Structure 1
Amino acid sequence: MRSTSPVVDPADDPPPGARQLARGITATWWYTVSAVAFLELFLVLVWTLQALAVPGDATAAFVVGVGGLIWWGSTIVLLADYRHRLDAEPGIAWTRIALPLLIAVGYGIAGGLVLDSWLLALMPIAQSVLLLNWPKGVRLRMVVLTTVVLVLVAVADAARGATEIALPGWIPALYAILIPAMSVSSLWWWDVLVTVDRARASEARLAATQERLRVATDVHDLQGHHLQVIALQLELAERLMRIDPDAALEQLRAARVSVDEARQGTRDLATRFRSVPLGDEVANARDLLAAAGLSVEADIAPDADEAPSSALGPVIRETTTNVLRHGAGRRARLDLRRVDDGWRYEVANDVVTGVATHPVGSGLDGVRRRISEAGGTLEIREDADEFIVSVTVPRSDVSTADGQSR
């Protein structure tokens, strides 16, 4: 089925790739939160079942179960605050975490009293404290210290008869001892992912900065040389104007030649930066999409550098931006090959199901005009869950496009 392109180009849209990277980080965070939350809920369930096993009194099960759910909700608040501080400044904002910590203390005291368990009294406090954003190096020591203390308290409960020595009685105790370490390990993996993502973003910014510096250096060297020569020629012409007009006129002509050389050098420099071989263009698009977290399939013809870069280069860049901004963010397919009537470039990506298509934006409108001027065709279609853009240009476009670029 054919449809219009879902490309829009709002002025406030984030840069290419930024939305996809944020989506990937967000998904990983929800995996982390769900893992910690499941562990805590399972622990509350195990302790509640142990309370139900005590005959004759349902109050203990009610306190442990309902109080556990309230404590569980307070830890979700701590996790949300942990993520917020991770993107801001390190440290602990005690004013925001005071209530969740008080809930942990209250639940520990109430649950420990009704079940006569020191381990249950200490476990919620230890878990909540370890979910705070401790400085580097401090959390590891806190985990080791907390685990040792929980083990000692569990042994003390067993010694005074509060915990059965048999295996069923030790199941809640075992989970209570291990849950702080398991939760911290999940948060540690999240921290590693954020650090890697920031390093990747910093590397991209550094590469862009280095490229701008290289361009600035080339422009400075080119223009600085020509402007210095022109200044000397004009100064010499000014001095010769009264004593030797012909020589002065010759210097003015030389200055004009230097101006033409500077202009041509600037044009050649700009052409060199614009004229990226098509094979490199597709490879760059593939690497950018892969860096944004997509699974990319690329089929690039061995002689792709012979394809008309002036016509297809903007197509590759625009469609790559389109995939990053409006695709579902899971997969993409790039294909550049020779066909009977010239060259064909096709890009396909998955789309968000259930989202209505948008009108064609200015990006693909510009691509359509450029391809039309080059004598090619642009086809936009949707097949099942894929959005596909296909562009075909004739081989004769090489000379035409180069003439237009000048």
Structure 2
Amino acid sequence: MDANPPGERGVARGRLRRLNLVMFLPVVALGGVLVVAIDSREWWHVVVLGLGAAAAMVSFVRWAAGDVLSVALPCLVVGAGVWVVGALAVDSDSAYFGLAVVASLSIPPLPRHRTAMAVGVPLFVLAVGVARLLTAQGAAQDGDLVQYAVIPTGITAVMIGVMFPNKRFYDVVQDLEDSRDREAELAVARERVRFASDLHDIQGHTLHVVKLKVALAQKLLHSDIGRVEEELREVHALVADTIAQTKELAYAQRRLNLSAELENAKNLFEAAGIDVRVDRRAEVDSAAGELFGQVLRETTTNILRHAQATQVRITLAESGISIVNDGAQEAGRLSGLAALRERLTAAGGELTAEQVGGRFLTAAEFPPRPATTGRGRR
């Protein structure tokens, strides 16, 4: 597999490797135990064949961790030595087991000479098998050729060949994760650009108007002092209003349209490769829509920045909104949500933000309005 250990965001690769470790390490261990138990007739046979089984398990564990190349050379040497001693001295036709496992795990991730190694190791297995036939006491039987040369060489070659598509599969998973990370970063960058655009809308127009009014006041300074005072008062009011709008934008308190924020959140999540579903159970109360839009915007940013989400569910009710995402990571205090909680509390609402397992729930709710009923006739 990949020679590098899984990165901080290599969640999918990490899960696949843990799954392989749980499912196949017992199989490798059982194979090694069977080789030792069946072919050992003396105590030193157990030691020799046990070394091959140990090399196989060590390489498998490191492969599952993503750094098999750190133990590839010593494990290959041990596996090759066990096959030589096993075939020539122990009369074990299964002593190639450790070498086959180590080679199949170590060769595909090699940065260079993979093809040469993929051909060379089976040829080495074949050469040792042929040497066993040539040095055997008495005439070699046809069964010995199959037992010590054909089968070991074929199984080793097949195991190595099978692991090349497996390596390619992991590469594809890594490429997909890298692409997803880039999409998430791009989505956050787009959000920043949108924020910058909003800031420009607020301040750009104001500064241009201020420039014109100051220039006009400068021209009228010696001819119409009353008009100059009026222009300066308007400049003062305009700057004060711009300061207020800038503060609202910085603290996500600018008036927002919930429908627009919902569409924007869907676009951001889809751009980041996240499956998003929206459940509209009722039309949102117009009085709560602005605050819900702020909650949705802040939660969207938090998911993109702090989670490894694959699914997001947004539920809208008349007096509430909830956003649930998977891939939640341990995070510090989310100051944006803390500020929104204060605003919602002040408006009579409630904000919930809690993590349960790998899922994170963000929900805002106002008490339902009492139903309006007419008076019945007596």
1:130-145 equivalences in 2 (<5 Å):
130=107, 132-134=109-111, 139=114, 141-142=115-116, 145=119
Shift of 1:313: 4.4
- Tell me if structure 2 keeps the 8 A contact 1:345–1:392: yes
SS at match of 2:221: helix
Indicate the residue corresponding to 2:32 in structure 1.
Answer: 44
TM superposition shift of 1:201? 0.9
1:30 aligns with 2:21: no
Counterpart amino acid of residue 29 in structure 1 = R
Name the counterpart of 2:374: none
Whether 1:277 aligns to 2:265 is no
Q: Aligned-pair RMSD on alpha carbons?
A: 5.7
Q: Name the count of aligned residue pairs.
A: 349
Aligned partner letter, 1:79 = W
Q: Which of 348, 366, 377 is residue 393 of structure 1 equivalent to?
A: 366
State yes or no: 1:189 paired with 2:177: no
1:126 match:
103
Structure 2-normalised TM-score? 0.62
In the superposition, the TM-score normalised over structure 1's length comes to 0.59
Matched, 1:374 2:347: yes
2:59/2:105 contact within 8 Å kept: yes
| Distance (whole Å) between structure 2 residues aligned to residue 365 and residue 64 of structure 1 | 64
Correspondence 1:74 to 2:74: no
Q: Does 1:210 align with 2:190?
A: yes
Aligned to 1:252: 232
Residues 131/109 of structure 1: CA separation in 2 closer, same or farther (3 Å cut): farther
Return the alpha-carbon distance in structure 1 between the equivalents of residues 231 and 298 of structure 2. Answer: 48
CA distance in 1, matches of 2:346, 2:23: 56
The alpha-carbon distance between structure 1 residues 211 and 366, as it changes in their structure 2 partners (threshold 3 A), is closer
Describe the shift of the 1:99–1:217 C-alpha distance in structure 2 as closer, same or farther (beyond 3 A).
Answer: same
Aligned residue number for residue 62 of structure 1: 46
Structure 1 CA distance for aligned equivalents of residues 154 and 201 of structure 2: 70
Structure 1 residue 30: Cα displacement: 1.2
| Alignment map for 1:2-401 (pairs within 5 Å) | 23-34=11-22, 37=25, 40-41=28-29, 43-45=31-33, 47-48=35-36, 51=39, 57-58=41-42, 61-63=45-47, 65-76=49-60, 78-79=62-63, 82-83=66-67, 98-113=73-88, 114-115=90-91, 120=96, 123=100, 126-127=103-104, 129-130=106-107, 132-134=109-111, 139=114, 141-142=115-116, 145=119, 149=123, 156=130, 161=140, 164=144, 174-220=154-200, 222-238=202-218, 240-242=220-222, 245-246=225-226, 248-249=228-229, 251-253=231-233, 255-256=235-236, 258-259=238-239, 262=242, 266=246, 275-277=256-258, 281=262, 284=265, 299-301=279-281, 303-304=283-284, 306=286, 308-313=288-293, 335-338=315-318, 343-345=319-321, 370-376=343-349, 392-394=365-367
Q: Secondary structure at the match of 2:348?
A: coil
Contact 2:129 2:148 in 1 (8 A): no
1:25-63 CA distances to partner (integer Å, 9 max, x unpaired)?
A: 4222212445664564455356446625xxxx3457514
Listed one character per residue, the Cα deviations across residues 124-166 of structure 1 (whole Å, up to 9, x for unaligned) are 663464164426xx64x35753586478659858986586467
Q: Which structure has the higher relative contact order (CA within 8 Å, separation 6+)?
A: 1
* In structure 2, C-alpha distance between the alignment counterparts of 1:378 and 1:212, rounded to whole Å: 25
Residues 150, 370 of structure 1: alpha-carbon distance in 2 compared, 3 angstrom cutoff: farther
Quick one: distance in 1 between partners of 2:340 and 2:254? 20
Identity %: 23
Distance in 1 (CA, whole Å) between partners of 2:306 and 2:177 is 21
Judge conservation of contact 1:147–1:181 (CA < 8 Å) in 2.
Answer: no
The one-letter code sitting in structure 2 at the alignment partner of 1:193 is V
Q: In structure 2, what is the Cα distance between the partners aligned to 1:381 and 1:125?
A: 46
Code of the aligned partner of 2:221: M
